[in-house]
Amino acid sequence: MNTQVWHWRQSSIRFKIIFSVLLMTLPLAGMLIYNNNYAIHVVRGQVADSYKNMLKLYMNQTDSSLDDIDSYMSSVASGYDLLSLSQAATDGDYYSAKIYLFNKLSRDITLYDSIGSFFVYTENRQDFLHVSKDYPSAKENDRIEQHMIDFIHSNHFPKGISSDIWSYMKIDQVDYLVDIVHAGDIYLGAWIKTDQLLKPLETLQIGEGGEVLLANREGEPISNTNLVTEYGIDLRKNLNEYDISGDKKSFLVVGSPSSGGAFSLVALIPDHYILAKLPYLKSLIWIITIAAVLFIPAGLYSMRQSILVPIYRLLRTMKKVREGDWSSRVELSHTSGEFQLIGGAFNAMMTEVERLRINVYEEQLNKQKEELQRLQLQVNPHFFLNTLNIIYNLAKIKNYELILDTSMSLIEYFRYMFRSNTSFVPVKDELEHTRNYLRIQSIRFRDKLKWTIYAPDYLLDVPIPPLVIQSFVENSIKHAISLDETLTIFVHIEFLIEESGSRMSISIRDTGPGFSCQVLEELQAGRSVQNEKGEHIGIWNVERRLRLLYGEAVSIRYDNDKETGGAVIEMIIPTNPGMEETR
């Protein structure tokens, strides 16, 4: 879209009406939408703070329980019980210390509700002692034992009597938290199933479809859950702030990190469950917003029907008048009184203008016919005298056959020239007249003149103004022929289809020196050309007649051929002039 069109649209009534309506309604709709979003944000923040406080309270209790377990294991590791096992000199002493430690751990494990199992690993004896609450199967016990031994050998936990860090591990799709302390080559550890830590939170009201889970520091769930993968929930965000996450379904994500382990407690609350607690204000805001949005097209439609439609009708009629349809009238009988008054005044004015235009047109048409007749009757006296001189010289040498041909060509030439009451002739007549002219000139210049004329058969009956082709051919011979080189003239006619209708292209080319730079510049600018001998009458004559007959529907191009250097003239004219019928 160019700048001029854009500025016009900005200054139009339609643009101003739409802009005014939007200026009144959009701020209101924007304010309501902002208030709605703000209310949602406040509710989410309040819900997030509430759940975060509950999670933090339970996380503190969980950390306290884990710290108690870690303190207990540290006291055992630094006491006599673990030391006696490490320093046993004989197998008997070792097994006695092992039995005593087993009984002690079996008795003390009941003091910790969340713990799943204690284990003791003697590295130099490759001996593993397992004390469990729920007595897993032998197969499961063996798998856990092997994982714990591999974990100890991997050295992926801090060394010392107390680590204060509970590490995460997955065994057979079951998630565990593991804490290990050691004294010498004796390792004392405990593991807890992560799902066991979440049992007290099963009564927490987080809405249907919500869930509480544990996640490691990489944002991966370490408890049994399907929500994270199913809905694409991101657990890697900062847990100090709440977050809205999920692809198919939105969840409010809040959490609290553990101070005693590399994990966090996270709650996933369905967003619709939170927003369902909003008062009816949310629905009311959306109703008002939708009503305001619907008012815009309704108001614009009403304004369009009462104001813009009558204006568009008037503009459409004025456009038809500008394009030449002077009989167009505007219909504004079912609109406002002001527009009916404008429509009546416009129609009355167009009736008067059409009547005056018909009178002026008829006067101009008569003048154009007179001017066309004068232009067509212009005869080059030099050509007439040269032709008579050729006939005289042929008579001296008694070439009677050539005298007959030349005389007949000259008779046909002047018969065609004196068709003064004809504005259009068929293409075939114009081409035959051009051939007569070229035959006469070929007698004068002998073998120095050649020509090629082509036109498809279906264009031979198309009407064109007389002498348009012959005049340009005559101009080529006048300015391009010489006795040193042969001049070839090409006349080519073809059919064109354009958006504005069917057209015919008439091209006249020669192999002469072409137009000079000055002459070509004047012709391309549409100005008449003069030299020291006077005006280029032939070119001016044709162009003047074409403008009178076709107006802006005709185009004429002047150029020099890039290969031969000769002059090139191309005319594009309508195939149906819609004026005087061909005679």
Percent of the chain whose predicted confidence (pLDDT) is above 70: 77
d(CA 379, CA 373): 12
Q: Cα angle vertex 97, ends 95, 102, to 5°?
A: 90
Residue 29 and residue 538: Cα distance in Å, rounded? 73
pLDDT average, residue stretch 46-74? 83
Buried-exposed string 416-448: b where 16+ CB fall within 10 A, e elsewhere: bbebeebbbbbbebbbebbbbbbbbbebbeeee
Q: Quote the CA–CA distance of 573 and 541 in Å, as a whole number.
A: 16
Position 493 scores a pLDDT of 95
pTM of the model: 0.45
Model confidence pLDDT, tens digit, residues 356-373: 877 776 676 666 566 656
Cα torsion for 91, 97, 102, 107, to the nearest 10°?
A: 160
489 — phi, psi (to 5°)?
Answer: -115, 130
State the pLDDT confidence band at 4, using cuts at 50, 70 and 90: low
* Confidence grade of residue 567 (pLDDT, cut at 50, 70, 90): very high
pLDDT at residue number 3: 62
3-state secondary structure 444-497: HHHHHEEEEEECCHHHCCCEECCCHHHHHHHHHHHHHCCCCCCEEEEEEEEEEE
pLDDT, residue 583, reads 35
At 319-351, the pLDDT tens digits run 877 777 777 787 777 776 777 777 778 788 878
Residue 398 reports pLDDT greater than 80: no
Query: Mean pLDDT throughout 489-518?
Result: 89
Count the neighbouring beta carbons within 10 Å of the beta carbon of residue 215. Answer: 24
Q: Supply 199's token pair.
A: 């049992």
Residue 110 DSSP label: G
79: closest CA among 188, 192, 191?
188
Q: How far apart are CA 215 and CA 239, in angstroms?
A: 11
Predicted local distance difference test score (pLDDT) of residue 135 = 65
> What is the predicted pLDDT for the residue at 180?
86
Determine the residue type at 169: M
Tokens at 306, concatenated: 């009462």
Tokens matching residue 343 = 């429509």
* Residue of 88 and 128 predicted with greater confidence: 128
pLDDT at 457 (0 to 100): 93
Cα 414 from Cα 412, distance rounded (Å): 6
Q: CB burial class (10 A; 0-12, 13-18, 19+) of residue 582?
A: middle
Average pLDDT, the chain: 78
Sole residue written with tokens 């149906």: 576
Residue 580 is predicted with a pLDDT of: 40
Per-residue pLDDT band for 218 (boundaries 50, 70, 90) equals confident
Residue listed under structure tokens 């995460």: 168
Range 530-553 average pLDDT: 70
Q: Which CATH number is associated with domain 377-574?
A: 3.30.565.10
The residue ranking higher by pLDDT, 407 or 137, is 407
pLDDT of residue 161: 46
| CATH 3.30.565.10 location in the chain | 377-574
- Rounded Cα distance between 152 and 127, Å, is 13
Output b/e per residue, 378-388; b: 16+ Cβ within 10 A: eeeeebeeebe
Confidence of residue 489 (pLDDT cuts 50, 70, 90): very high
pLDDT at 417 over 80: no
- The pLDDT score that the predictor gives to residue 351 is 81
pLDDT for position 579: 43
The CA–CA distances, whole Å, from 175 to 59, 220, 228, 316, 446 equal 18, 12, 16, 78, 111
- Give the neighbor-by-neighbor strand order of the sheet with 251-257: 211-216, 263-270, 251-257, 243-245
Radius of gyration of the chain (CA): 53
| Mean of pLDDT values over 82-102 | 81
Mean pLDDT of 547-567: 87
Say how far apart CA 102 and CA 106 lie, in whole Å.
Answer: 6
Residue 561 confidence (pLDDT) above 60: yes
Segment 428-444 shows an average pLDDT of 88
Q: Given a cut of 50, is residue 162 above it in pLDDT?
A: no
Residues 430-454: what's their mean pLDDT?
Answer: 88
Greater confidence (453 vs 28) lies with 453
- What DSSP string describes 56-124? HHHHHHHHHHHHHHHHHHHHHHHSHHHHHHHT--SHHHHHHHHHHHHHHHHHHGGG-SS--EEEEEETT
Q: What proportion of the chain, given as a percentage, has pLDDT over 90?
A: 9
Give the pLDDT of residue 321. Answer: 78
Token digits of residue 159: 């060394």
Residue 359 φ/ψ, nearest 5 degrees: -65, -45
**What's the rounded mean pLDDT across residues 140-169?**
72
Tell me which residue has tokens 């092997």: 146
Residue 249 to residue 232: CA distance in whole angstroms: 9
CA distance 173 to 170: 6
Least confidently predicted of 5-9, 333-337, 448-452, 563-567:
5-9
Return the higher-pLDDT residue of 562 and 19: 562
Q: DSSP per residue over 393-459, as a string?
A: HHHHTT-HHHHHHHHHHHHHHHHHHT-TT-S-EEHHHHHHHHHHHHHHHHHHHGGGEEEEEE--GGG
For residue range 402-415, what is the model confidence (pLDDT) as tens digits? 788 778 877 887 77
Tell me, what's the pLDDT at 314?
A: 77
pLDDT at 419 over 70: no
